[in-house]
Structure 1
Amino acid sequence: MKYTNRPCSRSRFIRFGLLVLSSGLTTMICDRLQAAQPTIVKTSRLQTLAKGFNLAHWQRHSLLDGYYTEAKLQQYKHLGLTYTRLPVVLSTFFNDNNPGVLKTDSLAALDAIVRLHVKTGLGIILSPFDHPKSLYSDPAVLAKFVAFFKAFATHMNRTDPEKVFLEVMNEPNAETPQAWDRVQTELVKAIRLGAPHHTIIASSNVSATTNDWNNARSLPMTRIVADKNVVYNFHFYEPFVFTHQGASWGWRATQFMKNIPYPATLATITLPLSKIQDTEAKNAVEHYAQQQWDRDKIITLLSLIANWARTNNVAVICNEFGAIPWTVPRGSLLRYLKDVRQVLESLEIGWGQWFELDVHDAEVMQALGLKPIRH
């Protein structure tokens, strides 16, 4: 570009000054707008979400019973865990007649639990449990939950956003992921209004389609929300025939499944298969063996999630995985926990183990890559 040395007129000087001033104001306004918007998830928070245990006891019991003590949390910290996940049973805090005001009976106990985590140096995910099915179809119910989530987030806004994470919902079960998306969008907005700086844990629908109960497949169908300070969550209990063998809840067929190994082939499944009398259970176990579940199959399934996260430039977490420790064959349990945990870590996906385990069980702790606690 060629420059010429010309005198600057008064009018030209004034126009130039206004242009500079305008540019400065524009930059200032843009900076303030960006500062007001939720930021991307900080690396420090993703590190806090690396390894966790679920406080499953408090799904079934009162927060006031003091089951998880400071000593227990110190043990978790010693193991190498970085966070826990607390089931927040909605009926404890949700007032249907006045959803914008929290029920206070257990609020002090909840606050104490959160403070205890911060004191110990552990993160905590607060995860709402037991929502009504009508949430997906009734606008009036959704409006109540929007009011509640804003009130709950406002209350939690006083806590440390580096350690406290607000999950949208535990295992939403709409007919499709798209039906859940519509609800989640509104709930995320409500949470953000109440807690501008906390990281939100977005929930993926528990099933990919009406007949495909697979949270790992439903996550890539989940809509990315406008909010950037969000981590996307899924649960992993695949293969269900193995992880939930002997379960007395949920799918009726699992109660008839026993001694199912992992990894599995038709050869290794022959003996336990011959002892199953229930037709539905027998067919399911045979199908499980035909699929030849092993580490490579887990890598294939979880890599789809990692690729989805990279493509969409978002962070993901698996804050529930595991197998029933009192029904799954011991050797298979150890191999499964180690395989899933190592695959998740290799893909840089944080994890949370669900079924409560004995922290003094050295073999299980080692399978989870944790430091065993000696008696």
Structure 2
Amino acid sequence: MLRTLAGREGFVRIGGDMALGAGMNLGNALDAPPGSEHAVSPRGRYFDAIRDAGFDTVRLPVAWAWHAAEAAPYVVEEDFFRRVDRAVDAALARGLNVVLNVHHYHQLTDAPDEQAERFLALWRQIATRYADRPAPVHFELLNEPRAALTAERWNALLPRALAAVRESNPERTVLVGPAEMNDIHALPKLRLPDDPHLMATIHYYAPFPFTHQGAHWVEGSAPWLGTTWGGAADRGAVADDLALAAAWAADHGVPMFVGEFGAYERADPDSRARWTAWVRECAERLGLAWAYWEFGTDFGAYDRATDTWREPLRQALLPAR
């Protein structure tokens, strides 16, 4: 029996599919660069911790493109597929929903016309591999379309990717987000295919100078250090942003998943907990499922060194559990 939404208000069953409820991203794991010394191994005890804390869903970002041939038929390495199998099955064995995506496909976002056939081939393999998994496994076509993969190009490519999935999974729930890195304000440019088993997804990291202060990969982020968050104007901006996402979803008749939100570890801890709690609270009030970014690295809600939750973040995410 699915644990999804147990005791949580604001989430509803839509189109016969349970909304995803409260989720956790297992980031920097299956999406980590090959050989990364900072990669998180998707260990069974981490899925135990996620389940026991009271989360409903695990989002599994997967960098398939780093483990697939460059030439047709673009075969995914079997050893890598087995790693993903173990993570998917570990989540299912603990009664968790799974969102399985294509992550870090930089070649596609830089050169979508040249990479389109490879992208479609990856999805045919992924979809076929997991066609026998139960309905709690959801597919997310692409994390954060961006750069040369403009809204126009993405709107042309995503129906082809959905068709590739539908060859083997005619009723699997598939998540689709807008271009411009799944930004809320790009939703009006997204053109959803006519399909009754779709869910929309957005990511939320606003205000960026707060959530990414001091992030080493963001040029110019050092001067943002010391940025705090929590005033009435701050809260109002978040509430207004998420209301836009909820309104768009209602207008289009699809459930909405806030697939990522989080604040970098160098942010003021109290502000970080306040922001996290407010984003979660606003999302739930609007009936939006969500997944925190991320489990156990630089945005992490979990301290892997001590195998314990960082309590201010855990309480911000799951106050009633």
- The alpha carbon displacement at 1:87 in A equals 1.6
CA 1:54–1:66 in 2, change beyond 3 Å: closer, same or farther? closer
Contact 2:109 2:146 in 1 (8 A): no
Matched, 1:248 2:220: no
Contact 2:28 2:40 in 1 (8 A): no
Equivalence for 2:95:
121
- The alpha carbon displacement at 1:192 in A equals 1.5
Equivalence for 1:316:
256
Bigger CA radius of gyration: 1
Equivalence for 2:301:
357
Equivalence for 1:170:
143
Contact 1:92 1:106 in 2 (8 A): no
- The alpha carbon displacement at 1:243 in A equals 0.4
Work out the CA distance in 1 between the residues paired with 2:180 and 2:75: 29
Contact 1:88 1:126 in 2 (8 A): yes
Work out the CA distance in 2 between the residues paired with 1:344 and 1:311: 17
Equivalence for 2:229:
262
Work out the CA distance in 1 between the residues paired with 2:53 and 2:319: 5
- The alpha carbon displacement at 1:357 in A equals 1.3
CA 1:243–1:146 in 2, change beyond 3 Å: closer, same or farther? same
Work out the CA distance in 2 between the residues paired with 1:337 and 1:138: 34
Work out the CA distance in 1 between the residues paired with 2:92 and 2:317: 23
Q: Larger RCO: Structure 1 or Structure 2 (Cα < 8 Å, ≥ 6 residues apart)?
A: 2
- The alpha carbon displacement at 1:140 in A equals 4.4
- Any residues of structure 2 matched to 1:269-284 within 5 Å, and which? none
Work out the CA distance in 1 between the residues paired with 2:44 and 2:108: 38
User: How many residues matched?
Assistant: 294
Equivalence for 1:216:
184
Normalising by structure 2, we get a TM-score of 0.84
Work out the CA distance in 2 between the residues paired with 1:231 and 1:172: 16
Residue 217 of structure 2 aligns to a residue whose secondary structure is coil
Work out the CA distance in 1 between the residues paired with 2:194 and 2:110: 20
| Deviation digits for residues 69-117 of structure 1 (CA, Å, limit 9, x no counterpart) | 2222122112110111112112344222133533212112211211111
Equivalence for 1:339:
278
Equivalence for 2:268:
329
Question: What letter matches 1:145 in structure 2?
Answer: F
CA 1:337–1:148 in 2, change beyond 3 Å: closer, same or farther? same
Residue 56 of structure 1 aligns to a residue whose secondary structure is coil
Work out the CA distance in 2 between the residues paired with 1:198 and 1:188: 10
Equivalence for 1:31:
none
Work out the CA distance in 1 between the residues paired with 2:112 and 2:28: 31
- Any residues of structure 2 matched to 1:1-375 within 5 Å, and which? 41-44=15-18, 46=19, 49-58=20-29, 59-60=31-32, 67-99=41-73, 101-134=75-108, 139-161=113-135, 163-175=136-148, 176-206=150-180, 215-250=183-218, 252-263=219-230, 293-324=233-264, 326-354=265-293, 355-358=299-302, 359-370=308-319
Give the alignment's Cα RMSD to 1 decimal. 2.4
Contact 1:80 1:370 in 2 (8 A): no
Question: Unpaired segments of 5 or more residues in structure 1?
Answer: 1-39, 208-213, 265-291
Question: Unpaired segments of 5 or more residues in structure 2?
Answer: 1-13, 294-298, 303-307
CA 1:239–1:315 in 2, change beyond 3 Å: closer, same or farther? same
Between Structure 1 and Structure 2, the one with more helix by share is 1
Contact 2:109 2:145 in 1 (8 A): no
More moved, 52-61 vs 344-353: 52-61
- The alpha carbon displacement at 1:129 in A equals 1.4
Flag as ranges the 4+ runs of structure 1 deviating above 4 A.
133-138
Residue 115 of structure 2 aligns to a residue whose secondary structure is helix
How much identity, in percent, do the aligned residues show? Answer: 25
CA 1:85–1:99 in 2, change beyond 3 Å: closer, same or farther? farther
- The alpha carbon displacement at 1:174 in A equals 4.0
Contact 1:178 1:223 in 2 (8 A): no
Residue 194 of structure 1 aligns to a residue whose secondary structure is coil
